[in-house]
Structures are given as structure tokens and as C-alpha cells.
Amino acid sequence: MDDDLPPDLPRLRTLETWADLFLRRVRARIAAVEQQQKQPHQTLASPAAPTVRPAAGPKRARTPDWGLAEAGIGVPTTEIHRGDCWATGKTLQPITAERARAELADGARACDACRPGAVLLPKP
């Protein structure tokens, strides 16, 4: 049997729970997009608010698309990160894509790990 699933029941139950949660997220997104298509003159989110991804599980914080790490201990200068970057530390402040672009243009450093400038800034 060509199978990449674990053989034991506890791990299979964990995968089942994850798959169920993920399927619920997908169905919720489908419903939201269908609702948006029915009402094209309305938007789901205000443009001033930063966009956030849904939580990965119960009682988990939502992940912003972009974040700002202020200069401080361990961070020599203000840095811009993707919201899911592993190198953000615990002080990531959620920001909009527009603010992230403005901060990068004003001299904020782009993270070397997640490279937000590759997505946010126009290519020369």
C-alpha cells in the first residue's frame, strides 16, 4: 500500500481533526466568496484594516499578512516581516501592505528570512 499516513490511531485521529478544521475553513471561505459575488458593490473588509489570515486552530492568534518589528533589544532597526515569518520574535505589530511599503520606502529594513520587499516593492 503506497501510503504516507501514520500507522497508529492517535496520529490518525490528530490528522482527522486537522483535516476537519481545515475543511471548515475552506467551506467558510467558499461561502464568503459566493456571498461577495452575489453582492459585488460591497466589500468584505475595510481597506484601512490590515488583512489577517484565519486562526490555524482553536484559541490561536490570527496571523497578519504583514508586520512591523520595532527596533529594540535584539532588533537593531525597524524591520518589516511577512506575518508568518519565523524570525519576527514576539513583538510583531500587524500592519497593512500599504504601510509596509511606506516603511520600506522610508528606510525600514526588510527581513532577510521572509524577504517582504520581493512582494511589496516593484521590480526595477
Domain boundaries, the chain: 1-43, 63-120
Round to whole Å and give the CA distance between 108 and 32: 35
pTM > 0.85: no
The H or E element that residue 77 is part of is none
Give me the chain's average pLDDT, please: 79
- Beta strand 109-110 with 93-95 is unpaired
Residue 47 has pLDDT above 70, yes or no: no
pLDDT of residue 46: 47
How large a percentage of the chain has pLDDT more than 90? 10
